[in-house]
Structure formats: structure tokens, C-alpha cells
């Protein structure tokens, strides 16, 4: 059997502490060159002056946040989690950018289709599927050099058949369940299974990983179980690769979980996990804008109401503006509870109701916005529209605020504030 190519975890380890601190600049796979960082979708994409909403992705902010994650973890290699359409920003946009970030040694997803999308987008570094695939799907993934994450009895034999078919070992990360009870081999019966997997010549165990419950007190018990399994396996002479556990929350709040590699997601996209309490430790820059152009500007008379339910009734004559973004685009219905939208250099309150395709802002007694002006509903340009601010006001998890953005929203090149 011909040997597999060098695992990315071993490659990352060989960089040493000095190289890690310097930025992990050595590429893991020969690359034909950088893929486009952002793109304007061709057919069906928005015109420069169109009114339909769009998302802008800032590759510089993605790279900055990856650097911050590495700095905070003393240069640990980063396995970048880009699940759920790149946390709403678009896999085709964030994948190639993070693929070129020197701190990032690989990317991880939880859906088979997303692993293929990363490869289709030109991602060269290792990709890990942190879920299960059918045998046919696994065959296609192995063909495209995607790492698998076995966690069930019988997975060793199943993957060994693929190794025989491809005439090379199948690289894997062993998925252990230390208390989440969602996916993974349960910790209380994991050791014999780990031994079986690690001693199969058909498999190349590049790492072992787990997921935290994010109850920090219980997480420490989970980490203890995970480390105990790793120690016992290594004491038995088993090669179990690198241990990784720390998600975005644990990158910030649980340094003892950083281990040999970290696995952040949310913080790479510029949002804080706990509403900004960690901002003193970790500087982040939101890597997206949600934008549209003002569709209509009109002056209400006293007694005129706005949108469904007549939740807003004008007491005095007031200007309002309609923006073609609604809850079908992922903008929260609860935005009427205090969210604001940036038009020009001022923010305006969302009023009435967020319908499927529209929201309305109160402009005031003077007409200070115009039809066609760019409205920014989410982004780094003002504290009022930061993803964490929207999360705080709406009562939605910041994960939801980002991940629920419609995947159908077209992506544009990052524009200037007044464009």
C-alpha cells in the first residue's frame, strides 16, 4: 500500500513554536495561487445600483481575526470552522480567504455538500467533515482528500474498505463524546475503539476531537475525560494525532483547552461569543456587511401607520424610509424592539414590523435620506449595527444572527461606506 501524503497535523507540529509564533507561513498543499477573495456573482447578481439586498465580505477582517485567534492561543494552529455556509457569509467567499491565512492549517464543516463546495471554490488545505457520511459519500470525499471523523462501531472496517479501494490510508480524526451526547464515541467505552482505529494500517489518525456543552463548569469535566483518554491511548503506544477541543468560546475563556490545535468558528467572522465581555482579550472586526438601497422615502401624516399590525402610528408628521430587507433574508423580526440601520453617517430606528421582504425606519422631521441611498443593516461601520448589538437587542444568539442570513443573498466586493 502506498503511503498517504503527509498529514497536515504532523506538518503543523513540525513548524515548532518559533514558526507558529511567526505565523505558520508554510503551505500545507501546493497551491496554484490565491483564489479570488470575494466575487460578484455573475448571472442573477445585483447590479451596482440595484435595490436588492446583498452581503459584502471583508477578506482583510477575516485574516485579522484569524491572527487574533492565533495570538490569543500562543500561536496554536487553527482548524477554521466554516460550517453553515461560512456562518452566513458564504463558503465560496470565506473558504479561499481562510485557506490563504498562514495561521489556518485546515477548514472544518459539518455537511458533505459543504466539503465539496470548499474544494470547488479552490480550497487547497485539508478539509475535515465533522459528521457522518454514507459509504458512497465517503468514497467521493476521500477522492477529494477530505478528512473523515469516525465515531461509531464498525467505522474502522467501513473505512478500511475505502483504503483498499484507493490503495492508501484514509486520514481521519477520531470524534469522542465526553458529555455532549450528540455525536462521537462515548468516552466510557472509547479506549478499546481508539485502539482498534489507531492500530489499523488502513487508517491514518491525524487527530482526536470533542465538543463542549458550553457550560464552563461541566466543560472542565469534559476536558478531564478527553485528556485522560488521550494520555491513556499514548501510554499504550497508540498514535492518536493532535488533540483539539477549543471552540470560539474556549479560545477566549478556557486556555487550558487550547491543547495542540484550536477550532474556532464565530470569532473568525468578527462576532464575540458572550456579547463582548471578552473584548479586552480579543479584538475582533466584523467581516461582513448586510446592505441594500433605500427603496422609498415618504412623509407620514399624523395618524398614518406603518406595516402589518399597525404597531407604529405617527403622532406627528415624520419621514420614513423603506429598505428591501426582511426576515426572509435573515434580518430578525425582533429588530423592531430597538435595532437601528445606518444610512449615510446616521442610524435610524426600525419601526412597525419586519416583514418577509421589507423593513421601515423612522427618519425624523427632516428628510435626511434619499431613495437609492445605501443602507447598512449589519457590519463594523457603527456600534448600532454590530452583530453583537443586534443579538443583544433581539434576544437572538449571535450565531443565529449570522447563520440565519439567507444563503441566496448575493455577495459583492467590499465597498466603501458611501458607495
Where along the chain do its domains lie? Answer: 8-30+59-280, 288-412
Q: For 206-265, how does the pLDDT look when each residue is reduced to its tens digit (9 = 90+)? A: 999 999 999 989 999 999 999 999 999 999 999 999 999 999 999 988 999 999 999 999
Assigned CATH topology for domain 288-412: Lyase, Ornithine Decarboxylase; Chain A, domain 1 (2.40.37)
Q: Are 254 and 221 in contact (CB under 8 A)?
A: no
Q: Are 397 and 391 in contact (CB under 8 A)?
A: yes
pTM of full prediction above 0.85: yes
Q: For 377-407, how does the pLDDT look when each residue is reduced to its tens digit (9 = 90+)? A: 999 999 999 999 999 999 999 999 999 999 9
For the chain of 419 residues, list the mean pLDDT of each consecutive stretch of 10.
39 35 30 37 52 97 97 97 98 98 98 98 98 98 98 97 97 98 98 98 98 95 98 97 96 95 98 74 94 98 97 97 98 98 97 98 97 97 97 96 97 74
Q: Are 222 and 214 in contact (CB under 8 A)?
A: no
Assigned CATH topology for domain 8-30+59-280: TIM Barrel (3.20.20)
**How far is Cα 126 from Cα 41, in angstroms, rounded to an integer?**
26
Lateral strand order in the sheet of 288-293: 296-300, 318-323, 359-364, 346-351, 340-343, 374-378, 288-293, 54-57, 411-412
**How far is Cα 319 from Cα 364, in angstroms, rounded to an integer?**
5
pLDDT at 419: 53
Q: Is 25 exposed, middle or buried (0-12, 13-18, 19+ CB in 10 A)?
A: exposed
Q: Are 82 and 399 in contact (CB under 8 A)?
A: no
Q: Are 225 and 187 in contact (CB under 8 A)?
A: yes
pLDDT at 415: 75
**Spatial CA neighbour of 66 closest among 100, 35, 19:** 100
Q: Are 125 and 106 in contact (CB under 8 A)?
A: yes
pLDDT at 64: 97
Amino acid at each position: 500500500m502506498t503511503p498517504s501524503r503527509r498529514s497536515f497535523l504532523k506538518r503543523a507540529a513540525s513548524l515548532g513554536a518559533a514558526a507558529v509564533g511567526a505565523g505558520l507561513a508554510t503551505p500545507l498543499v501546493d497551491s496554484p495561487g490565491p483564489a479570488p477573495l470575494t466575487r460578484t456573482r455573475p448571472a442573477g447578481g445585483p447590479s451596482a445600483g440595484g435595490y436588492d439586498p446583498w452581503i459584502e465580505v471583508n477578506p482583510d477582517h477575516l485574516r485579522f481575526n484569524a491572527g487574533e485567534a492565533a495570538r490569543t492561543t500562543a500561536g496554536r494552529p487553527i482548524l477554521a470552522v466554516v460550517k453553515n455556509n461560512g456562518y452566513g457569509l458564504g463558503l465560496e467567499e470565506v473558504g479561499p480567504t481562510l485557506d490563504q491565512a498562514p495561521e489556518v492549517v485546515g477548514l472544518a464543516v459539518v455537511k458533505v455538500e459543504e466539503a465539496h463546495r470548499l474544494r470547488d471554490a479552490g480550497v487547497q488545505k485539508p478539509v475535515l467533515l465533522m459528521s457522518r457520511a454514507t459509504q458512497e459519500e465517503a468514497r467521493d470525499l476521500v477522492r477529494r482528500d477530505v478528512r473523515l471523523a469516525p465515531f461509531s462501531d464498525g467505522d474502522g472496517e467501513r473505512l478500511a474498505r475505502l483504503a483498499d479501494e484507493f490503495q492508501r490510508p484514509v486520514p481521519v480524526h477520531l470524534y469522542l463524546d465526553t458529555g455532549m451526547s450528540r455525536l462521537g464515541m462515548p468516552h466510557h467505552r472509547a479506549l478499546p475503539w481508539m485502539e482498534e482505529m489507531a492500530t489499523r494500517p488502513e487508517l491514518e489518525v491525524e487527530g482526536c476531537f470533542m465538543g463542549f456543552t458550553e457550560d464552563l463548569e461541566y466543560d472542565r469535566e469534559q476536558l478531564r475525560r478527553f485528556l485522560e483518554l488521550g494520555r491513556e491511548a499514548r501510554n499504550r503506544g497508540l498514535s492518536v494525532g493532535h488533540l483539539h477541543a477549543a471552540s470560539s468560546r474556549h479560545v477566549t475563556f478556557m486556555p487550558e483547552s487550547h491543547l495542540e490545535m484550536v477550532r474556532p468558528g464565530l470569532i473568525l467572522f468578527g462576532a464575540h461569543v458572550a456579547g463582548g465581555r471578552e473584548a479586552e482579550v480579543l479584538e475582533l472586526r466584523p467581516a461582513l456587511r448586510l446592505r441594500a438601497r433605500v427603496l422609498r422615502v415618504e412623509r407620514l401624516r399624523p395618524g398614518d401607520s406603518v406595516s402589518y399590525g399597525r404597531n407604529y402610528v405617527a403622532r406627528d408628521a415624520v419621514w420614513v424610509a423603506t429598505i428591501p430587507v426582511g426576515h426572509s433574508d435573515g434580518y430578525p423580526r425582533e429588530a423592531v424592539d430597538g435595532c437601528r440601520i445606518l444610512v449615510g453617517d446616521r442610524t435610524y430606528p426600525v419601526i412597525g414590523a419586519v416583514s418577509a421582504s421589507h423593513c421601515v425606519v423612522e427618519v425624523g422631521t427632516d428628510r435626511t435620506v434619499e431613495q437609492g441611498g445605501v443602507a447598512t443593516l449589519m457590519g463594523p461601520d457603527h456600534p448600532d449595527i454590530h452583530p453583537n448589538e443586534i443579538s443583544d437587542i433581539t434576544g437572538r444568539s449571535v450565531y443565529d444572527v449570522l447563520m440565519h442570513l439567507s444563503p441566496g443573498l448575493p455577495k459583492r466586493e467590499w465597498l466603501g461606506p458611501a458607495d
